[in-house]
Amino acid sequence: MLDEDLALAYLVRAGIGPELTLGIARHVTIDPRGGDSEASDSRMTARVRGVHAFHPRSVGGNVAHELGAAAPLDLSAGPPAGVHLELVNWDVIAQAVHPVRQQRPWLPSPFAYLPLTPQELLRAYLAIVGIAPQDSYGVQITYGRPLNLLARTSTSRGVQRTTGGDEMPCADGKDRVRMHGGSYLVITYRDSPAYAEGRQRWAAYQSEVLKAELGRELHPRGPVPAGNYADGKLKRTFNKLVDVVDFFDPDSTNEPTFEPPRYCWPPAV
């Protein structure tokens, strides 16, 4: 299941609509490995640890505690009825217009008809579909699986740094050099016939302008991998296998490929 599926299950159970929701946000951490950012075996992994649903303290009651006490929960596959969740693949566009994410995108763009940033793509979706703020549960440029930011490039192997971009405002108000690391957009909103018509316009925009289907290659709700996770042996085996593949594969980006499921436990076929 997606992180947003779990947050939506909570919000619906608590009777909290999108008009009372500041946003659904995945909790992402940046985990470094190796002390020298120039070392060939260094990693700076972006990893999703959980999900937040922001709303006023005055609503929701004890639903979160009740859901926790009732675990494991049998939740439906996908968002609740009446809610639309859209995934939009930014990575496939970035490979063309911004292949080395540690540096600024190319100007002029070699593909002027494509958005230059994920924010530009997000604004296009919101405008074309016509999402009203009071119907939005949240929008986000984020990750699914763990991703090594130091290898965030599709044309130049060995770019082992996260600087080189423009200075952008941070949470503390200071401007710092930032890089674009997100893989795809998640847009979640209360559905209606008007939005169904808007998604037809979005499909036409993808076909006629972008020349791409930005949701086709995303498979977010794949099967939970089976195996014995209890003693950690399987995870260690996968980690060793990844290290071996990284060493011998000249096209490898050193991205970790195995991560236990965040919300499904124990794994089952």
Question: Which tens digit of pLDDT belongs to each residue from 39-80?
Answer: 555 677 888 889 999 999 899 888 988 888 888 888 877 889
Residues 193 and 76 in one domain: yes
Which of 79-88, 240-249, 258-267 is least confident?
240-249
Q: Does 72 share its domain with 204?
A: yes
Interatomic CA distance for residues 263 and 219, integer angstroms: 17
Last residue of a domain, one of 183, 202, 222: 222
What lies within 8 Å, CB to CB, of 84 at 6+ separation is 188, 189, 190, 191, 195, 199
| 185 and 242 both lie in a single domain | no
Round to whole Å and give the CA distance between 106 and 173: 27
Domain span holding position 207: 3-222
129 three-state secondary structure: helix
Helix (H, G, I), strand (E, B) or coil at 237: helix
Q: Do residue 234 and residue 218 come from a single domain?
A: no
Q: Which carries the bigger pLDDT value, residue 203 or residue 73?
A: 203
Confidence of residue 265 (pLDDT cuts 50, 70, 90): low
The per-residue pLDDT for 41 is: 58
**Residue 84 parent element (H or E):** strand 83-89
Q: Count how many domains the chain has.
A: 2
Could you tell me if 228 and 97 lie in one domain? no
Q: Are 38 and 152 in contact (CB under 8 A)?
A: no
**Across 251-266, average pLDDT:** 58
pLDDT of residue 196: 97
- Among the three residues 205, 222, 239, which one is the final residue of a domain in this structure? 222
SS3 sequence, 101-149?
Answer: CCCCCCCCCCCCCCCCCHHHHHHHHHHHHCCCHHHEEEEEEECCCCEEH
Asked if residue 66 and residue 124 are part of one domain, the reply reads yes
**75 and 140 share one domain:** yes
Same-domain status, 47 and 160: yes
pLDDT of residue 76: 75
**Does residue 215 sit in the same domain as residue 237?**
no
Query: What average pLDDT does the segment 188-212 reach?
Result: 95
**Cβ count near 229 (within 10 Å):** 15
- 116 vs 218, higher pLDDT: 116
Q: Sorting pLDDT into bands at 50, 70 and 90, what band is 165?
A: low
- Provide the residue type at 259 as one letter: E
* Pair 161, 233 in one domain: no
Query: Which pLDDT score, from 0 to 100, does residue 86 have?
Result: 94
Q: Given this model, what pLDDT does residue 237 score?
A: 40
Comparison of pLDDT for 25 and 164, the residue scoring more: 25
Asked if 253 and 123 sit in the same domain, the reply is: no
**Residue, of 138 and 170, whose pLDDT is higher:** 138
Q: 203, 222, 241 — which closes off a domain?
A: 222
Residues 168, 215 share a domain: yes
Q: Which of 40, 39, 143, 145 is nearest to 101 (CA)?
A: 143
